[in-house]
Amino acid sequence: MERAAILVLALGESASELVRQLHEDEVREVSSAMALLGPVPAVIVDAVIAEFFKRFAGSGFLMGSLEQTEKTLLDALPPERVSIIMEELRGPAGRSVWDKLGNVSHGVLASYLANEYPQTAAVVLSKVPPNVAATVLSSLPHDFAVDTIQRMLVMEPVHRDILQQVEGTMRSEFISNLNRTAKRDNHEAMAEVFNSFDKQAENRFMAQLSGKAQDSAERIKALMFVFDDLARLDSTGIQVLLRSVDKRDLSLALKGASDTLSRLFFSNMSERGAKLLREEMQSLGPVRVKDVSAAQARIVATAKDLSARNEIVLAGQSAEDELVY
């Protein structure tokens, strides 16, 4: 993607026709790569152009795609046969939109479908994976969800034209809008940067930022998840975390932890495990603040990974996201 971005930039205005041939998702990916390139040495630009010329000018270079396949088939077969073949290749009405719906926030999808007709919701939920349909139905208003379920139960095979219409609506009204609104907040990105600082650097930069942009500093603080926030995990969450972290990291991290947080970890360990951990901490002797901060950062990163997999619930998540064991 970086090489594609370099080529487009090197072509300048001449790249407009090339860009028009790209799919919307490809345009987005190339644009992202262009924005992140920074300075590119001339020798790299020359190498990319030379590689492009060599590959594109070679007689054996071809690029296959669904669009090119359909165009080729239409030159040789009746449109009806081509339509059937392409439907088999793509999946009903094109597989990409349904895959995307399976990967978006189920709550966001439920909010969108709640404003549609139950029949539309039934068609959409019949095309996504069962676990996605279950989560979305659970998030819909009760009467609307029951109506949708009833329609799914009696639904006949949906005609291809209707599927294409629903797919087009979802792409233009839902996916496109989602892509526009899903741009990441700069403060969220910076909060992750601050989470990766060691404690001294974090305090230094936060103090300087507070002096120049107090509001931004407060927003970043609110978005940051630090080691001390683990004190708000429940016992089950702590136990899941204990099974996932490196024991040496835990020994280092707790050397710089508050008494409250240390007690929380020890209380969720077996008596023997807690004894071994205390002995390990004592054997470490004096440790550098930088090493403690790094160990705490790794444990926080593990906690975030566990949260992303819905294995624990971090502070700040809604009660609806809590787990039942």
Tell me the pLDDT of the chain (325 aa) as tens digits: 888 889 888 888 888 878 877 777 778 888 888 888 888 888 888 888 888 887 776 545 555 566 767 777 787 788 877 776 665 555 433 445 666 666 666 777 888 888 888 888 888 888 888 888 888 898 888 889 999 999 888 887 777 677 777 777 776 666 555 544 444 567 777 877 787 776 677 888 888 898 888 888 888 876 777 788 888 888 888 999 999 999 889 999 998 888 888 999 999 999 999 999 999 998 988 888 888 888 888 898 888 888 878 888 775 444 444 444 4
- How do the domains of the chain map onto residue ranges? 2-57, 77-181, 225-321
Angstrom distances, CA of residue 269 to CA of 71, 77, 85, 121, 227:
65, 70, 60, 47, 18
Provide the pLDDT for residue 318. Answer: 41
Distance separating alpha carbons of residues 75 and 73, to the nearest angstrom: 5
CATH code at 77-181 = 1.10.220.30
Which three-class secondary structure state does DSSP give residue 178? helix
Provide the pLDDT for residue 316. Answer: 47
* Residues 37, 5 contacting (CB under 8 angstroms): yes
pLDDT, one tens digit per residue, over 87-130 is: 555 543 344 566 666 666 677 788 888 888 888 888 888 888 88
Is the model's pTM score more than 0.85? no
| Fold exhibited by the domain 225-321 | Annexin V; domain 1 (1.10.220)
Provide the pLDDT for residue 268. Answer: 92
pLDDT, one tens digit per residue, over 134-179 is: 888 988 888 899 999 998 888 877 776 777 777 777 766 665 555 4
Provide the pLDDT for residue 241. Answer: 92
* Residues 313, 225 contacting (CB under 8 angstroms): no
Amino acid residing at 200: Q
Amino acid residing at 172: S
Amino acid residing at 99: D
Helix 199-212 crosses helix 214-223 at what angle (to 10 degrees)? 140
Angstrom distances, CA of residue 116 to CA of 69, 111, 174, 175:
35, 9, 11, 15
* Residues 22, 48 contacting (CB under 8 angstroms): no
**CATH fold match for the domains 77-181 and 225-321:** yes
* Residues 127, 92 contacting (CB under 8 angstroms): yes
